[in-house]
Amino acid sequence: MSKKIPTRLYLTEDEIPKFWYNLRADMKDKPEPILHPGTLQNATAADLEGVFCKEPVKQELDDTTRLVPIPDGLQEFYKAYRPAPLIRAYFLERALGTPAEIYYKFEGTNTSGSHKLNSAGAQAYYAKEEGLTSLTTETGAGQWGTAMAMACAFYGLKLTVYMVKVSSQQKPYRKALIETYGANLVPSPSLTTDSGKKILAANPDTGGSLGCAISEAIETAVKTDKCRYVLGSVLNHVLLHQSIIGQETKAALEKYDIKPDIIIGCAGGGSNLGGLISPFMGEKLAGKSKTRFIAVEPASCPSFTRGRYAYDFGDTAMTTPLLRMYTLGNGFIPSANHAGGLRYHGMNSVLSKLYKDGYLEARSEVQTDVFDAAVSFMKTEGILPAPESSHAIKVAIDEAMECKRSGEKKVILFGLTGTGYFDMTAYMAYNDKTMSDHVPTDEELERGFASIPDIPQNK
């Protein structure tokens, strides 16, 4: 104690960490293995390489390597927009009148507007190294599609993005941005694939779904020469790439001798939260810290807080390998919610294991409360937050207010995953007071649970 803490805790370019941290290496109780959906045996690299790029598959299955070097050709890409700022929320603290110290790691400074670029860059880099010429992916809210379009433009790869049709209509600027970066955007379902044709034949007016877009993207990747499919969350290799968030945050905090008491992140498929907490969780697992970790999810899609720990498919078309995770069932259809990036039925298997074993806490929040928090934050700190990120803001404010009541001076850190420039329809609904909160009933959840595969491992 006690260096004066600046508003922005800088790292220089040379101080950007050169390694990702693989938390699985330090977990005594490992997450459950991925299963092949046909044989129900542990999935092998060969099973996965038909769809995914080679190096990410290796990373997916690697539970033992602690530090994974970030390749030079990717470090170069990271330097174009990293280090991401770590900011002391002095203005928010003052407005709340809390004795707590609040910090946030801001991942929204790049044009795609979120942390997703960290893994998009990595996956495009490895695809190029492997000699592939094109990639396919899906996008719902549009953040992942934009990040992949940026990364593929940088590394000179062709990209086809299957964008959920309603979303491409509701978010025309997202679509335009993806196309301006040079990607081929196909509203899904489409007539370009057999799975799309089948869905359209059965239901010509459908607005599409993420599950359907995933099926189209995988089909095209498998049928196209030198092409693979990339996914933006949920899987372990994505979490590994996102550990750059936690590695940078830890390096910057250590410069000022700051130790977080509570770390908070929003959770969709779990990649930003997992990336932010990984190095700090490693210390907790080693008994070196008492930091608490809190995942925040929408009350409309409560995978952790109301889900089941079971093997389930990653997509609604039931084509992916089986992942052991907290899930609402692959057939669960969340009600409309403006935090599009958090509308996923399952959760990464590392985080699921940590939650099950009591190392990670979880809360769910309704969207009007989340937007109240977003607006308090933007009026004090100035940054327009993404609806997804605002879930973390909500709980950070709650914890800071708890400190105000108890008089404790805790250090609270949260992940501000992105900006909300493409979400103004949501803010308009909030301003007009037309925003509603839907919390699924137990019966609605039961319908989702019924889609969880009935296999011996789930008994």
Residues found near ligand PLP in the complex (CB under 6 A)? 114, 116, 143, 233, 266-273, 341-342, 386, 388-389, 417-418
Interaxial angle between packed helices 349-356 and 236-255, expressed in degrees from 0 to 180 and rounded to the nearest 10: 70
Least distance from C-beta 292 to ligand PLP, angstroms? 19
Least distance from C-beta 115 to ligand PLP, angstroms? 6
Residue whose CB is less far from ligand PLP, 301 or 403: 301
Least distance from C-beta 446 to ligand PLP, angstroms? 25
Least distance from C-beta 257 to ligand PLP, angstroms? 28
Cα 437 to Cα 370: distance, rounded to the nearest angstrom: 10
Cα 168 to Cα 182: distance, rounded to the nearest angstrom: 16
CA separation (Å) from 183 to 161, 162, 200? 7, 10, 24
Residue whose CB is less far from ligand PLP, 253 or 267: 267
Q: How many CA atoms lie within 13 A of 7 on its CB side?
A: 6
Residue whose CB is less far from ligand PLP, 75 or 139: 139
Cα 391 to Cα 171: distance, rounded to the nearest angstrom: 21
Residue whose CB is less far from ligand PLP, 158 or 356: 356
Least distance from C-beta 372 to ligand PLP, angstroms? 18
Residue whose CB is less far from ligand PLP, 161 or 199: 161
Residue whose CB is less far from ligand PLP, 196 or 387: 387
Least distance from C-beta 102 to ligand PLP, angstroms? 19
- β-bridge pairing 101-106 and 134-139: unpaired
Cα 238 to Cα 240: distance, rounded to the nearest angstrom: 5
Least distance from C-beta 139 to ligand PLP, angstroms? 10
Contacts of 154 (CB under 8 A, 6+ apart): 77, 121, 124
CA separation (Å) from 89 to 5, 7, 95, 323, 384? 11, 7, 10, 37, 14
Helix/strand/coil (H, E, C) string of 246-305?
A: HHHHHHHHHHCCCCCCEEEEECCCCHHHHHHHHHHHHHHHCCCCCCEEEEEEECCCCHHH
Residue whose CB is less far from ligand PLP, 27 or 277: 277
